[in-house]
Chains A and B, each alone.
Chain A
């Protein structure tokens, strides 16, 4: 045993090329799947949004109600895009941080296939009306089972990779990645067991649902996104992370508080749990300070958003979005503020802002950095220039979503608080206004997703399989044709 431990400790770090080669197939598969699901999520989301503006649109089809489309859009984003991209990045970063090739890539492929099967099953189930009735956690029982098994396969590979070599010091991103791998099965397992498999009493489902939804967002997505930001900003700026202590403080704050925050002040729950949630939301400011200050000091003097490096730009925007979304979480500590916005479009808008402005932006930036490095030799990525449009469309969409969703929701909130007749035209207009403006944001997200998919397809088309890539074959044919050898 000790001999094995010594061997592990003494194992030399693998070369980056070796690590990239080991990650190539599984990580590219996950990234490409993420791109497909991103288009699916935004397309379905846009369709749902369209139905809100044109109520009669596709109204005769029971499979395309607004509620089903909304659920499908979120499932496609959360598990389809975020799950695939997040897991792919987790595997690559863990391998690089441990300095060892990805272990058991076959398990990752199997896990990724299962994972995508689970997401597909969820989409089909929701379309057939099989959603569990929890906004933010729409997985039918069979889908969550498959997802959990798929996750276990992928996590197995990550764990083996992680323990294949010892380091004197763990880089902070490793903490966040370990946390993301641990919390997902717990959160989804809890929701699966208490909301779907053997549902608890109706009244008890409300706190379970809230914890699930907020933990998936704040902890699962939060840890993966922050891991990427903490990895890439120091790496690209060529600086060391300013403080491990600040990073550790931010890490524990996110983990400790992430599951408590954002409970609406009007929730039909015991008052003590609402008050606790408000205190946790107030304390969340410390997580923002710890992470924000640490990265600000790390990149001091470097204009992240004005950088020429696209990955750095993405990470800068993602960090800003996480901080702004966190400020809204902090704002929920105030019952009056929360009471005003709780039933408006604002909470949905903030969720979209967090999902796209923070998480998706971090993933887009990371994929831009990682994906070309997974190939051997010189990479032919002719359409990499279009990648900057992903950044601009996502950033623009996120800003519109924030301003429209939250700013315009004020009018709706005041109408709800002011006792305006809920059946009146005035109330209807106020409710719709933020959604109408947010439609533009969803359009931008769809554009970004399409370019992302096209960009990934372009990369694979030109570089996969070495000399046997479709583009290489086309070139050979063209060359041969030019020489008059082949028709």
Chain B
């Protein structure tokens, strides 16, 4: 460490590492992102007015108080059985009785179908024998049919699907299942799944169960990741988490620093009217609303309302129809129009391959 050229080169090398890792690498990757939704539907750049609005947003430093970065959250796993193992007791033990999210009915009914299928196979085998005990096998079959028939049709169709067995017409009729299924019913059987977790469990919590079903019970299953604890989605701020592709057409990507105000990543999809946005920008405290957002009155034209004059079209009003400034006509200037056009262009309500819409989370404010 006494040769300055080596220190100089070392500094260059050390900085080049982080430059490569944090500048070149991510930039090269996101630069190569396709400008579509992943299904060939093209993403379009902002309109001219919205692009101008982006400059207004930048010039005023709006990104110091508002983020445009909706965050995701954690995932739980819903363990869905698609075909049950042969041993009912073992399967039930592995799953755990308390873990059925749909109910025991499907599980029990599926094993009744399995038992019936075994009885039918046994009857067939006895019939093929020279001195087979057909009567006893028939009795077993009838007993199995008695056990398996009846119940809720919807559940029975799912149970049939996960049991992995099929019956001929006579048995189907005896089981009171539809002889000719509609497309919907066929799909229900073909795509039948039996969820055996709540969908909020982490992998660590279900790992033993998955291994048991696979290695010991011989069941078939699939794991469906389900979003859990996604606050931005739950409180209606966003439809999904923000990803690089959301910023592809930004002249200046402004993900934001802190949330002194709400996140704006999906403000355009929140069904907020232009007038509401104008009123908020003009004076967020108008109408007695509590807010610490500064007024941006210089983005509006204001003139006194003449006696008897009605508010003209295009005047900024509060929710009750009154002018946002008492006894004045307030209309947005070109900068305010551009800014609102930009805000309305901000939306993340369309699914992307790397950020699907977490539809299973019900937003309490979805329609606001």
Same assembly: yes
A residues apposed to B, CB below 8 Å: 51-53, 55-57, 59-62, 65-68, 70-71, 129-135, 162-163, 167-170, 172, 174-175, 178-179, 182-183, 186, 190, 194, 199-211, 215, 219, 244, 248, 252, 255-260, 263, 265-270, 273, 276-277, 339, 342-345, 347-348, 412, 416-423, 425, 428, 431-432, 435
Beta-carbon contacts under 8 Å, B181-238 to A: 229, 231, 234-235, 237
Q: How far is the CA of A280 from the CA of B326 in the complex (A)?
A: 56
Contact A343 B259, beta carbon cutoff 8 Å: yes
CB distance from A447 to the nearest CB of B (A): 25
Encoded as 1 (CB less than 8 Å from any A CB) or 0, chain B from 238 to 257 comes to 00011111111111111111
Contact A178 B23, beta carbon cutoff 8 Å: no
Most chain B beta-carbon contacts within 10 A, residue among A175, A204, A210? A204
Which residues of chain B are near A435, meaning CB under 8 Å? 260
Beta-carbon contacts under 8 Å, B293-338 to A: 293-298
Complex A-B: 19 CB contacts under 8 Å:
A52-B292, A56-B294, A162-B4, A170-B4, A182-B15, A186-B12, A203-B30, A204-B27, A215-B15, A215-B18, A259-B18, A268-B247, A273-B26, A277-B22, A339-B71, A343-B263, A431-B258, A432-B292, A435-B260
Which residues of chain B are near A248, meaning CB under 8 Å? 1
Contact A202 B249, beta carbon cutoff 8 Å: yes
Contact B14 A205, beta carbon cutoff 8 Å: no
Q: How far is the CA of A276 from the CA of B294 in the complex (A)?
A: 38
CB distance from A216 to the nearest CB of B (A): 12
Q: How far is the CA of A205 from the CA of B30 in the complex (A)?
A: 10
Contact A203 B253, beta carbon cutoff 8 Å: yes
B53 within 8 A of A: no
Contact A55 B19, beta carbon cutoff 8 Å: no
Contact B65 A66, beta carbon cutoff 8 Å: yes
B residues apposed to A, CB below 8 Å: 1-2, 4, 7-8, 10-12, 14-15, 17-19, 21-23, 25-31, 33, 58-65, 67, 69, 71-72, 229, 231, 234-235, 237, 241-263, 284-285, 290-298, 365
Contact B294 A255, beta carbon cutoff 8 Å: no
Q: How far is the CA of A224 from the CA of B32 in the complex (A)?
A: 37
CB distance from B303 to the nearest CB of A (A): 16
Contact A203 B248, beta carbon cutoff 8 Å: yes
CB distance from A431 to the nearest CB of B (A): 5
Which residues of chain A are near B293, meaning CB under 8 Å? 55
Q: How far is the CA of A22 from the CA of B151 in the complex (A)?
A: 99
Contact A52 B30, beta carbon cutoff 8 Å: no
Which residues of chain B are near A67, meaning CB under 8 Å? 60-65
Main secondary structure of the interface of B (DSSP, over half): loop
Which chain B residue has the least Cβ–Cβ distance from A69? B61
Which chain A residue has the least Cβ–Cβ distance from B249? A202
Contact B69 A267, beta carbon cutoff 8 Å: yes
Which residues of chain B are near A132, meaning CB under 8 Å? 58, 252
Contact B7 A170, beta carbon cutoff 8 Å: yes
Contact B27 A55, beta carbon cutoff 8 Å: no
Q: How far is the CA of A71 from the CA of B11 in the complex (A)?
A: 29
Q: Knowing A55-B291, A133-B252 touch, does A206 contact B244 (C-beta < 8 A)?
A: yes
Which residues of chain B are near A133, meaning CB under 8 Å? 58, 63, 252-254
Contact B30 A66, beta carbon cutoff 8 Å: no
Which residues of chain A are near B263, meaning CB under 8 Å? 343, 422
**Which of these, A60, A276, A417, A428, contacts B21 with CB under 8 Å?**
A276
Which chain A residue has the least Cβ–Cβ distance from B299? A62
Which residues of chain A are near B247, meaning CB under 8 Å? 202-203, 205-206, 268
Which residues of chain B are near A61, meaning CB under 8 Å? 298
Which chain A residue has the least Cβ–Cβ distance from B9? A182
Which residues of chain A are near B33, meaning CB under 8 Å? 203
**Which of these, B62, B229, B253, contacts A206 with CB under 8 Å?**
B253
